[in-house]
Amino acid sequence: MEEEIMQQSKLNIQLVAITPNPIEMVFRGYRVCYSKYSYCDLPLKSEEEMLEFIKKNLLKGHTTPLEHVSVTFSIEGISRAAQQQLTRHRTGKYNVQSQRYVDGANFGYITPKIFTDLGLDAEFAAHMEFVGAQYQLFQEKIEQALNARYGENKAHKTIANENARAVLPMATDSKMIVTFDLHNLRNFLRQRKCRHAQDEIKAIAFEMQRLVKEHFPIIGAGISNCGSGCDCKQAALAKKKETKPKTKLIFDKAKFIDHQLKSGASLSVLLDFTWPDDAHGKEAVYYADNKTYKVTVSYGDSPVEFPVLKDWLLEVEVNA
């Protein structure tokens, strides 16, 4: 059996460094703000009492003392896609495995969870095997051509790597080290534990929290797992959409406009259209070419769906 060129990788995160005595460090940071004592002379409490004090202030929004504690992670088996999402958190510090100096023949790949869920992992693996073969093909051809033209040179290997990598997909795995302070790690967790985050970066966030929690138990205090209590904008919109009842109505054109004028609102029509005479007083769905057409009208805070004919206007704005 031939050895696979690109093999599937698994996520592996390790907490390799953390500021010593993180609970005490953060507690002292808070107490300096409110105490007459100097940093070294501050009286300490039990770990449980210090955590309770920190949590109370943290939940009030006073989180800057957390910046005095740093955590460093070693991450392997992360895709280039997730890596780009992670490095967008600009307050982190990053060192990333190079695709110029490291031979891509040693790279693996990450299978997105949805491919496995939908039974597409075998097809995805076959595609990655093909990509790996293409990478090696271009790599060899570039290096051979440069050696033939300019004579053998070790630099040609690097040139071959950095150009052949153009065929590598976002699923290609990588290695990196990441450093956050606890304040900015919490910001990362708040955004990436969200149910609207992609599976891989979400798994990274949960694993980082698990590792840090062993040393700083309240790292996730006040940060939801983005379920029904999530306060992110996407969840708020989704919740609003889920809970708002939908009303399907058809108004007579004249009656509709008259109603808006009496309520002090204005009707803005983007295109001319003819309102069917038989629409008055009916709650029916109209068809054209075997298709149902609808238009959503924003009326106050409640969108109303209008079934419409194909030649009706497809956008109407009601500005109260």
Residue 183 has pLDDT above 90, yes or no: yes
**CB 164, CB 45: distance < 8 Å:** no
Query: For residue 159, what are its two tokens?
Result: 């040139």
Residue 307 has, within 13 A of its CA and on its CB side, a CA count of 15
Q: Of the ranges 15-19, 20-24, 268-272, which one carries the lowest mean pLDDT score? A: 268-272
Mean local confidence (pLDDT), 39-54: 94
DSSP classification of residue 109? B
> Which has more pLDDT, 40 or 30?
30
Alpha carbon distance 32, 314 (integer Å): 62
Alpha carbon distance 74, 11 (integer Å): 11
Q: What pLDDT is recorded for position 34?
A: 86
Domains in the chain (CATH in brackets) are: 12-19+69-232 (3.30.1360.170), 247-319 (no CATH)
Active site residues: 192
Q: What pLDDT is recorded for position 4?
A: 57
Instruction: Please state whether the predicted TM-score (pTM) of the whole model is above 0.85.
Output: no
* 248 three-class SS: strand
Average per-residue pLDDT in the chain? 78
Alpha carbon distance 92, 208 (integer Å): 13
Alpha carbon distance 204, 174 (integer Å): 14
Residue 230 has pLDDT above 90, yes or no: no
pLDDT digits (tens, 9 = 90+) for 144-168: 999 999 999 999 999 999 999 999 9
pLDDT digits (tens, 9 = 90+) for 279-317: 333 333 333 333 443 444 444 444 444 444 333 333 333
pLDDT digits (tens, 9 = 90+) for 53-85: 999 999 999 999 999 999 999 999 999 999 999
Alpha carbon distance 299, 277 (integer Å): 23
Query: Does residue 80 come out as left (phi exceeding 0), alpha (psi in the -120 to 50 range) or beta?
Result: alpha
Phi, psi of 71 (to 5 degrees): -130, 140
Q: What pLDDT is recorded for position 235?
A: 60
How open is the CA angle 247-249-251, to the nearest 5 degrees? 150
Closest CA to 153 of 166, 162, 144: 144
Residue 209 has, within 13 A of its CA and on its CB side, a CA count of 21
